[in-house]
Amino acid sequence: MDVYLKKLEDELRLRGYSPKTIDSYRACVTSYLKTKQKDFEIVDVEFIKQYILSKIDSGASSQTTNQHLQAINFFCWNVLKFRRKIDVRFAKTPSKLPIVLSRAEIDKILSVISNEKHNLMIALAYSGGLRVSEIINLKVKDICLAELTIHIKDAKWNKDRITLLPEKLIGNIEKLTAGKNLNNYVFASERGGRLAERTAQKVFEQALKKAGIKKEATFHSLRHSFATHLLENGVDVRYVQELLGHANIRTTQIYTKVMNPALRKIKSPLE
């Protein structure tokens, strides 16, 4: 089994998949092979169907079952060189609207974070629409104060993009990065290395609680809020797509369902 998993990892690395995706695919295929137990080189479509059904029966979400199916498909095609169609359909994922914080809630969150580094981290994540992985990997050389831009490198799907930097944060960034090497992380840990994702998420969670905001928001809600607020300001959805780095505009258009100026003007009949 280890031989097949090593081949899987090599194929994923050759195609430039992120370490996080590689770990995820490896875990899914490991589970699949352990369940199969033997004849790893044989692709049994009926077995794959039953395996996916077992995931559904165990209460796994559609996202989880789809991830397993995607990993198995990749394994069969790229490692086992199986060239026939695996007729197992992906599960429908529930259409959930993103949780968006209002501008007032963003201000409230920032007002309760006294630590300057943490405050800037949350402000920058919101103002540029950065994922938690992007904010912790941000280096001094990625920020251009003169042009008010942030260069996000090797983001999701290994795509680079340019996003916004608000002028009001220049002083805070200069203070935090003073004396740092261009290759240093902007938000380094106390030991000087990269900050852990969980640490950044905890900073947000604690601020959310301290601000008394009851929404089930996560660090990623800052990115959702960035996109929604830009659309509310009249920015074209195609520009928002570029700033977020979405490959498909339909992914960006979900935010148009969250913001609807015309709908907000309608008053409830209960006065």
How does pLDDT run across 134-168, given as a tens digit for each residue? 999 999 999 999 999 999 987 666 678 999 999 99
pLDDT at 94: 64
Residue where a domain stops, chosen among 24, 45, 79? 79
pLDDT above 90 covers a percentage of the chain that reads 65
Same domain, 72 and 187: no
pLDDT at 261: 60
Same domain, 61 and 116: no
Same domain, 27 and 157: no
Q: Which domain holds residue 237?
A: 103-261
Same domain, 120 and 235: yes
Per the model's pLDDT, the better-predicted residue between 96 and 244 turns out to be 244
In the annotation, is 175 catalytic? no
Confidence of residue 262 (pLDDT cuts 50, 70, 90): low
Between 30-34, 52-56, 195-199, 226-230, the lowest mean confidence (pLDDT) is in: 52-56
In the annotation, is 151 catalytic? no
The CATH code of the domain that includes 143 is 1.10.443.10
In the annotation, is 131 catalytic? yes
In the annotation, is 223 catalytic? yes
Please give the tally of structural domains in the chain: 2
Residue where a domain stops, chosen among 17, 47, 79? 79
Per the model's pLDDT, the better-predicted residue between 260 and 187 turns out to be 187
Residue of 51, 126, 185, 255 marked active site: 255
Residue of 118, 139, 224, 246 marked active site: 246
Whether the predicted pLDDT of 57 surpasses 80: yes
pLDDT per residue as tens digits for the range 75-123: 999 999 988 878 888 777 666 789 999 999 999 999 999 999 999 999 9
Residue of 118, 223, 224, 229 marked active site: 223
pLDDT at 264: 60
In the annotation, is 126 catalytic? no
* 248 occurs within a structural domain: yes
Residue of 131, 139, 224, 229 marked active site: 131
Whether the predicted pLDDT of 269 surpasses 90: no
Residue where a domain stops, chosen among 46, 79, 112? 79
Same domain, 134 and 256: yes
pLDDT per residue as tens digits for the range 14-52: 888 888 889 999 999 999 999 999 989 888 889 999 999
Whether the predicted pLDDT of 259 surpasses 80: no
The tokens describing 206, both together, are: 């604690």
* 177 occurs within a structural domain: yes
Cα 187 from chain centroid?
Answer: 18
* 267 occurs within a structural domain: no
The CATH code of the domain that includes 10 is 1.10.150.130
Same domain, 135 and 228: yes
Q: How far apart are CA 111 and CA 5, in angstroms?
A: 48
The mean of the pLDDT values for the chain is 90
